């Protein structure tokens, strides 16, 4: 017969935090569910962890046992999500800094024949200057993380000497003039 897992006696401070988490509405749902496993055992000390897990809503009884083991070993910190592995970053912080620096400069000051960056222009300029290709999504993400936003270019009709002096006549009456 397998060894029965028992929850260690939580401190008064841990009991208060478990009760708070088990009834929380603004904490992550998984954290609340894990605290509910522990709260069920605190409320009914004779309840096995597998039964407490089922009561909290887990389909597999072994899940309740796992959370009690983690609590016993790590305390309340054990209820939090652990970092998950992911793909390592493709580009260094230096590359990111170079892109942000380029995006903050006016293209005309760098010798380009345009006044504003577009995503494609920035991508091409970065590749030319640093021999590194950055995907559209990488550029968008990095600029957004820095608080930089793309704005719609509004370049026409700002310099009076550039427009047609007969524009109003050619356009015809405007809707506000009637």
Nearest to 10 by CA among 22, 28, 25: 22
Q: Is residue 38 predicted with pLDDT exceeding 60?
A: yes
Angle at the Cα of 132 from the Cα atoms of 107 and 85, rounded to 5 degrees: 120
Reduced to 3 DSSP states, what percent helix, strand and coil does the chain have, rounded to the nearest 5? Answer: 55, 0, 45
Residue ranges per structural domain of the chain: 12-79, 93-145
Helix or strand holding residue 31 (H, E): helix 29-43
- What confidence score (pLDDT) does residue 60 get? 94
Q: What is the pTM of this model?
A: 0.51
pLDDT grade, residue 159 (50/70/90)?
Answer: low
pLDDT digits (tens, 9 = 90+) for 119-134: 999 999 999 999 999 9
């Amino acid at each position: 017969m397998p060894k029965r897992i028992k929850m260690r006696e939580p401190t008064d401070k841990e009991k208060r935090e478990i009760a708070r988490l088990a009834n929380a509405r603004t904490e992550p749902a998984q954290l609340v569910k894990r605290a509910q496993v522990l709260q069920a055992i605190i409320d009914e000390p004779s309840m096995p962890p597998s039964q407490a897990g089922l009561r909290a809503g887990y389909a597999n009884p072994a899940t309740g046992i796992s959370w009690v083991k983690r609590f016993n070993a790590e305390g309340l910190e054990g209820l939090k999500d652990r970092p998950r592995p992911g793909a390592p970053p493709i580009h260094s912080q230096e590359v990111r800094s170079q892109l942000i620096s380029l995006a903050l400069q006016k293209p005309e000051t760098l010798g380009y024949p345009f006044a504003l960056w577009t995503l494609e222009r920035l991508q091409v300029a970065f590749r030319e200057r640093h021999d590194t290709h950055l995907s559209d999504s990488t550029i968008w993400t990095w600029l957004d993380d820095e608080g930089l936003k793309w704005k719609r270019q509004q370049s026409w009709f700002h310099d009076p000497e550039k427009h047609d002096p007969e524009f109003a006549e050619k356009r015809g009456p405007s809707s506000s003039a009637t």
